[in-house]
Chains A and B, each alone.
Chain A
Amino acid sequence: QKEVEQNSGPLSVPEGAIASLNCTYSDRGSQSFFWYRQYSGKSPELIMSIYSNGDKEDGRFTAQLNKASQYVSLLIRDSQPSDSATYLCAVTPYNFNKFYFGSGTKLNVKP
């Protein structure tokens, strides 16, 4: 069973809209949750981390975590064409020794 599931997309949104990216995970022991952005041909870069239930905001990005539903999401407000990339969800148990990644959701923001 795959640990982390994401819709592969592509998700297309118009410029200025809210993009909503979703991720579910199977291991209830997961403690930390991350969103990475990966531009085509580049390496992943961390954009958000979240550890407790609820929302965490950083600029235009909001991560949401619901451990009971084993669900984590990323909202991007005022989407820009420069946000067009693949977004990877990752989870890890408490000791950070193993990170499990989803297959990523490709986001297209149309001008």
Chain B
Amino acid sequence: NAGVTQTPKFQVLKTGQSMTLQCAQDMNHNSMYWYRQDPGMGLRLIYYSASEGTTDKGEVPNGYNVSRLNKREFSLRLESAAPSQTSVYFCASSEEDTQYFGPGTRLTVL
């Protein structure tokens, strides 16, 4: 089992560019999450998906969109990247109370 995988691992964008962060899990979990982690801020929830076909906003959804493509995959899209979106992005999946995190994507927006 690979667990939770994320691509890419690193990305540098210019302001205004768009990109999609990919996440996949092979644990057959219903729930999936996208977080961002900034220095001194802990993890903040961007969006989550309780099951295939459903998505809901978290604490900091502005500037992001998500797609729950199927049970395995949950993508995060930045339509017009801004320097404030420079962060480390983690995807996670869970079955009830235990969350499993992917390795993260380090994104820099210039």
Contact = CB atoms under 8 A, between A and B. Distances in A.
Binding site of B, secondary structure by majority: helix, strand, loop or mixed? strand
Given A43-B103, A43-B104, A101 B97 contact: no
B74 interface: no
A65 to B, nearest CB: 14
B72 interface: no
Interface stretch (B15-23, B39-47, B76-84): B39-47
Contacts of A90: 43
Interface residues of B, number: 25
A96 B104 contact: no
Contacts, number: 51
Given A44-B43, A101-B42, A49 B98 contact: yes
Contact of A101 (B43, B48, B96): B43
A97 B31 CA distance: 8
A86 to B, nearest CB: 9
Interface residues of A, number: 23
B43 A98 contact: no
B31 A103 contact: no
Interface of B: 31, 33, 35, 40-45, 48, 50, 56, 58-59, 90, 94, 96-104
List 7 tightest A-B contacts by C-beta distance, closest first: A103-B42, A43-B101, A101-B43, A101-B42, A32-B97, A44-B101, A102-B42
Interface of A: 4, 6, 8, 32, 34, 42-46, 49, 88, 90, 92, 96-104
